[in-house]
A and B are shown apart, each in its own frame.
Chain A
Amino acid sequence: MTTVADPQAAEHRLNRAAIRPGRIITWTLLFIGGVIMVTPLLYMLSTSLKSAGQIYDLQLIPANPTLNNYIAVLSDGRFMRWFFNSTFIAVCSTLSAVFFDSMVGYTLAKFQFRGRFLVFIAILSTLMIPTEMLVIPWYLMSAQLGWINTYWGIMFPGMITAFGVFLMKQFFESVPDDFLEAARIDGLNEFQIWWKVAMPLVTPAISALAIFTFLGNWTAFFWPLIVTNSRELYTLPVGLSSFAVEQSIQWEMIMTGAALATIPTLIVFLVLQRYIVRGVMLAGLKG
């Protein structure tokens, strides 16, 4: 007999409600997506733990896992050098892009001036031009200015980014003018208002931009490959790819280097992502 109070019947209803067809489809799609994204990473890790003879057996779990590749890569002076190059370039570019993108975005969001919309559209339109088309002008320019095969030559295209300007402008637009005017009355100059008041209010955007920029620079391949010609100046992706061209392709070394290369991106993401989640903006307003 089934009564309203019957716990078993209630549980039954609950279970049925939980496994709705919509849910099943959602989970299946998410699962497939997850597998597609994770598999290459797992193969990277797996290959890095195999010895050179085993890399074509395509087993996900290595038969005789070994750390020899890691020891080899880490004790290889070239790898450390490239790692340093990539870190240096990614950090400098990120700091610079965050600084200048925010400044330009803030100006476009919070100041009224003639031609503001035009400037914004001009900046946005550069987003439509793919890197591949820009590489030749960049190269010619670098050649003229003597920037070929220098850190600056690798970095300069990313010191300020259109995407970042756009992102920061959108976020600064949501900062209430009262915040800025209160600071103006307290006697801060415009630079101080931007730096001390506006910037802390958009930390989520800054963190997101920093993550994107860092990742973009860390994984950049095409331009660093073109603008550098000595091994000492290679970035990590360019350097690792050079493992592929000498003698035979050393997949296990490439995969080990790639695995090591993901560590800084993980760190950057873990450090910065908590600022993204924290929505600080509205707490100072209203009740």
Chain B
Amino acid sequence: MATITLEGLSKVYGKGVKAVREIDLDIADGEFVVLVGPSGCGKSTTLRMIAGLEEISGGTLKIGGRVVNMQDPKQRNIAMVFQNYAIYPHMTVRQNIGFGLYTSKLDKAQKNQRIDAAAETLGLTPYLERRPAALSGGQRQRVAIGRAMVRDPVAFLFDEPLSNLDAQLRAQMRIEIKRLHQRLGTTIVYVTHDQVEAMTLADRIVVMRDGDILQVGSPTELYENPVDIFTARFIGSPAMNLLPATRTAGGVTIDGTSVQVALPAGGGDKLLIGVRPHEFVVDPSRAGQPGAFAVEGVVDAVEPLGPETLVHIKVGATEAIATAPGRVVPAVGQTVTAMAQPGSLHLFDAKTEKALPRP
């Protein structure tokens, strides 16, 4: 087990394509860190530099305190699980898992013992003599994890390991990976573009965009205090609503209508008011609550989910999603008032896209 430290790590491809721009990151021993961001933001490149599959263009990479920039993957003793599983079709499950021990000096009995133990952990014991073609997608991914496990590596790297699975299997494998981490306690760096995976798995999430790290924090921190509108929209589902607002002498207006918002000093005149759908409530029974943030909108569409209903409304030209509790289902075309508690609002400067201190 080991810490992983990135200091000013960068990657430039070929003719000056900057895939990763001088990022700093400290990963603690035994931590589960998830790199998340849209496709093409440099997550895989970062992971592959840690693995040793990609040459490092600048900065230093330390594993367990030692600089490993120039080391081969095998000297780093890390294991990696790929999106496409990369298990070998010409080998049985046992041979595939055992392949992780290809260069190990263990004798045959010890190797088999490790393979059996890994198979046991992953529920693969009945399939040890099968070939990958006779396995389901989830089982194949487990074989890939098994091959990583037997090595007893200092860290596991996962590159979008679940994106080829259907939604149900993905949810199941997510739990299994989390349990595995709790049992083994090995450092894990996990790449995904799926914020739900990031939220559910991570001790710490690293949000990336265009080769930069935008924000690092626990899932709750990112959810509660996004530093800019990118993270605010990226974390949480449905995404946070952003209502354009203007700071006037008397307060704040949205679409010419004044609203109740406590403003911090500083920042420009153009603002974005962020409010999460689950805290943006359409509930006629609570109308007229004093001190609440309230805006009127026209119902565009409704999505009843059972315990609540997602209400798509148009506030001026802006689309927003609010929730209606219980069986309150507003009619399409109706004008409704959506409300939020002052404490649940996020304020952003529309120009810099950075968060303003929360009221």
Contact = CB atoms under 8 A, between A and B. Distances in A.
B164 interface: yes
A188 B102 contact: yes
Contact of B165 (A186, A188, A192, A287): A287
A192 B99 CA distance: 12
A interface bracket (residues with beta carbon within 8 Å of B): 20 to 34
Contacts of A287: 136-137, 140, 164-166
A12 B111 CA distance: 67
B82 A182 contact: yes
B84 interface: yes
Contacts of B166: 287
A285 B84 contact: yes
B85 interface: yes
B245 to A, nearest CB: 46
Interface in A33-55: none
A117 to B, nearest CB: 15
Contacts of A286: 84-85, 137, 164
B100 interface: yes
Given A185-B53, A187-B73, A287-B136, A178 B86 contact: yes
Contacts of A203: 90
Interface stretch (A79-87, A208-216, A276-284): A276-284
Contacts of B164: 286-287
B359 to A, nearest CB: 48
Given A287-B136, A287-B137, A185 B88 contact: no
B interface bracket (residues with beta carbon within 8 Å of A): 20 to 34
A182 B90 contact: no
B145 interface: no
Given A185-B51, A287-B140, A282 B86 contact: no
Interface centre among A200, A201, A282, A285 (most CB of B within 10 A): A285
Given A284-B87, A286-B84, A186 B133 contact: no
Interface in B136-161: 136-137, 140, 144, 147, 151
Does more than half of chain A's interface fall in helix, strand or loop, or is it mixed?
helix
Contacts of B147: 182, 186
Nearest to B100: A186
B229 interface: no
Interface string A161-176: 0000000000000001
Contact of B85 (A183, A184, A200, A285): A285
Interface string A190-211: 0010001100110100000000
Given A185-B78, A197-B88, A201-B89, A283 B132 contact: yes
Does more than half of chain B's interface fall in helix, strand or loop, or is it mixed?
loop
Interface in B141-192: 144, 147, 151, 164-166
Contacts of A196: 102
A176 B84 contact: yes
B89 A181 contact: no
A179 interface: yes
Contacts of A182: 80, 82, 86-87, 144, 147
Contacts of A183: 99, 102
B90 A200 contact: yes
Contact of A285 (B53, B86, B151): B86
Given A184-B53, A186-B151, A188-B103, A284 B74 contact: no
Nearest to B81: A182
B139 to A, nearest CB: 10
A86 B20 CA distance: 59
B85 A181 contact: no
Nearest to B153: A185
B79 interface: yes
A209 B134 CA distance: 29
B93 to A, nearest CB: 11
Given A284-B89, A287-B140, A178 B53 contact: no
B103 A284 contact: no
Interface centre among A181, A182, A196, A203 (most CB of B within 10 A): A182
Interface centre among A176, A185, A192, A287 (most CB of B within 10 A): A185
A184 B131 CA distance: 22
B53 A284 contact: no
Interface string B114-143: 000000000000000001110011001000
Contacts of B103: 186-188
Contacts of B137: 286-287
Nearest to B54: A181
Nearest to B79: A185
Nearest to B90: A200
Given A186-B74, A187-B73, A286-B137, A179 B88 contact: yes
Interface string A258-287: 000000000000000000000011111111
A35 to B, nearest CB: 41
A282 B89 contact: yes
A284 B100 CA distance: 16
Nearest to A181: B53
Contacts of A178: 82-86
A284 B130 CA distance: 12
A176 B74 contact: no
19 contacts: A182-B80, A182-B147, A184-B73, A184-B74, A185-B51, A185-B78, A186-B103, A187-B73, A197-B88, A200-B90, A201-B90, A280-B89, A283-B131, A284-B86, A284-B133, A286-B84, A287-B136, A287-B140, A287-B164
List the 10 shortest-distance A-B pairs measured between CB atoms, nearest first. Answer: A287-B137, A187-B74, A283-B133, A284-B89, A283-B89, A187-B103, A178-B86, A182-B86, A200-B90, A178-B82
Given A283-B89, A287-B166, 11 more contacts: A179-B86, A181-B53, A182-B86, A184-B53, A184-B74, A185-B74, A200-B88, A201-B88, A201-B89, A285-B84, A287-B136
